[in-house]
Chain A
């Protein structure tokens, strides 16, 4: 079977599952870039470069890091905020998996049933999923590759995602911070972020503040 490259879409209405095309998940200590297994260190730099060259780099934190299930989740959330501040990157939450018809506000949230709406609305060109349960992340990653040209990454706490353009596995706060460190390193070497000016979302119980 020839290699199936998992690249940014639009692939088609229903892209094939990368696993069905022969792509396999990385082993511990590895990641994959476009379906090719690479050492994790290589993927940190590649991902950092992708973030820096993006116009609208965005983190999609999921329920596993938004809700304080335990101190580990809180620590991951802290690491995610550090990564977002370093670039800077937009933070758009996936708080749960309810379909929320018809009122989802694509400017400030994303759900796995219609992730393309949020990508289109905000013109997101590079994104990373963190803390989204695997079955929902797989669904969202496929929809994004099917209908948008966004480059997708996954910081997975389990075994990784074949359907992301780039995937890490066994995510921990330390690994998220390694990614932040890779961004810092490139910036110190003179690589400038191409991100457009934006103001981070800020919400209260009454509504959006910024």
Chain B
């Protein structure tokens, strides 16, 4: 903040400067509760798993100060205006096309600074309306991360069938039940050229953190990455506010639709291994320095 005007800044901004984890390379979900979060509030339904997914993702970004989100139409677009990370709202479905241009422009405008671009959209935008743009960005090996909040239907508009809805599911606006299988987007992403793909629920914050960090770091160096997160719409599947967590735990249990899986190319794995080693060495050195000082 500029010193001459710092004393007129509302407390939440002073708190953001003093305790948010900008610039901390070890930031993660464990900072939630002890530091200022980058999501101040949200306008989602009470108990919505998307809201907790947002908190974990924002806490896990390696460099939020140098990250730009690209959102799309859907429940997620109700949240973006509230977050303390740069973001762009795209037209329904063209989020990966916008992100492609943005990533290239940022690389040109800020040479020498690593600018992360992260697409965050629902399953309708990613798989149905925007599948062309999504896949084309993967074919072109655009270096950014695509996150899909998969709630298996069009929740925001009342429960229409989506490509990621499971076969046979009956929704409010899909009364006959879905006739086709859930699109296997993770496999499509792998075949389309994504260097890192993860499918999981948001029931376990440490897993979400690892997947987001892996995806963003691999996207910087290797190529496109994709993370599919199950964030059930409790309203549209007939659950209560407190039942979202149980729903996710059921879906990730053995035989469930969201058993955690990852596809990692050899090149991406090599990069992740080297990052792991570096982190380990850095933490060890910091620990030794601390003990010497003590």
Contact = CB atoms under 8 A, between A and B. Distances in A.
Best-buried of B3, B5, B40 by chain A (most CB within 10 Å):
B5
30 contacts: A66-B1, A66-B5, A66-B9, A68-B2, A68-B3, A73-B2, A74-B4, A77-B2, A77-B3, A77-B4, A77-B5, A78-B2, A81-B4, A81-B5, A91-B5, A91-B8, A92-B8, A95-B10, A98-B40, A98-B83, A99-B82, A100-B40, A101-B41, A105-B10, A108-B10, A109-B10, A204-B7, A204-B11, A205-B14, A206-B11
B18 interface: yes
Contacts of B4: 74, 77-78, 80-81
A88 interface: no
A11 B81 CA distance: 28
Interface string B1-33: 111110111110111001000000000000000
A202 B8 CA distance: 5
Best-buried of B3, B13, B40, B43 by chain A (most CB within 10 Å):
B13
Interface residues of A, number: 34
Contacts, number: 78
Best-buried of B4, B10, B13, B81 by chain A (most CB within 10 Å):
B4
Contacts of B84: 96, 98
Q: Interface majority SS on B: helix, strand, loop or mixed?
A: helix
Interface of B: 1-5, 7-11, 13-15, 18, 40-41, 43, 81-84
Interface string A166-210: 000000000000000000000000000000000011111111100
A108 B13 CA distance: 13
Contact of B82 (A66, A81, A98): A98
A92 B7 CA distance: 11
Contacts of A65: 2, 5
Contact of A68 (B1, B40, B81, B83): B1
A180 to B, nearest CB: 13
A93 B2 contact: no
Interface in A145-168: none
Best-buried of B3, B11, B82, B84 by chain A (most CB within 10 Å):
B11
A67 interface: yes
A61 interface: yes
A205 B40 CA distance: 15
